[in-house]
Amino acid sequence: MSEMLVRLQRWDEKWIWKLVSGRTERLNRFMKLMSSLGDGYLYVLAALAVYGLTGLSVEWMLFTVIAFSVELISYKLIKSGTTRPRPFQKNADIVNLVIPPDQYSFPSGHTAAATVAAVAFGMMFPVAIPFLAGFVVLVAVSRVYLGVHYPTDVLVGFALGLFSCGVASLITGFPA
């Protein structure tokens, strides 16, 4: 098992270096913006605004609240159980361009929350699915680019977001 973890760590380091070594001022600004759009509280405001403006179903709102709740609880449990140092903490050559919300790297809460939001909004607005998928990818890439996550952190964050939506769907029966 440890050999697999060593290989994953090498893969992570290879890909984070590819992103970090390509930094430019313009990309730095863009990636900081994408990362900040991944902050969880913005999704709550967006969901409330969409619900209020469009009169979307109570079932959709319940699904969304449960999915975000499952994501947040799972994220906290996994993060406290793994305590993986962030890339900039492990390697002084990697400079973090943003201050992370907590100490540990695994999994990416920004990516998990972006995934939940994309699934929730995509169910109600299918025409927006390509945009929402691109948004999730940009949030995930921004977290690696900014030096606060490894690629596997964002991949597991994506999986956690999908898992959270699956649990919410089982609980609510939405979408039917």
Write down the domain spans for the chain: 2-172
How many angstroms separate the CA atoms of 173 and 171, rounded? 6
Q: Over the stretch 68-90, which tens digit does the pLDDT of each residue have? A: 999 999 999 999 999 899 999 98
How many angstroms separate the CA atoms of 43 and 31, rounded? 18
Whether pTM > 0.85 for this model: the answer is yes
How many angstroms separate the CA atoms of 131 and 128, rounded? 5
Q: Over the stretch 120-144, which tens digit does the pLDDT of each residue have? A: 999 988 999 999 999 999 999 999 9
Domain at 2-172, CATH from 1.10.10.10, 2.40.50.1070, 1.10.606.20, 3.90.950.20: 1.10.606.20
The residues, ordered by sequence, that sit 6+ positions from 131 with a Cβ below 8 Å of its Cβ are: none
> DSSP secondary-structure letter at 145?
H
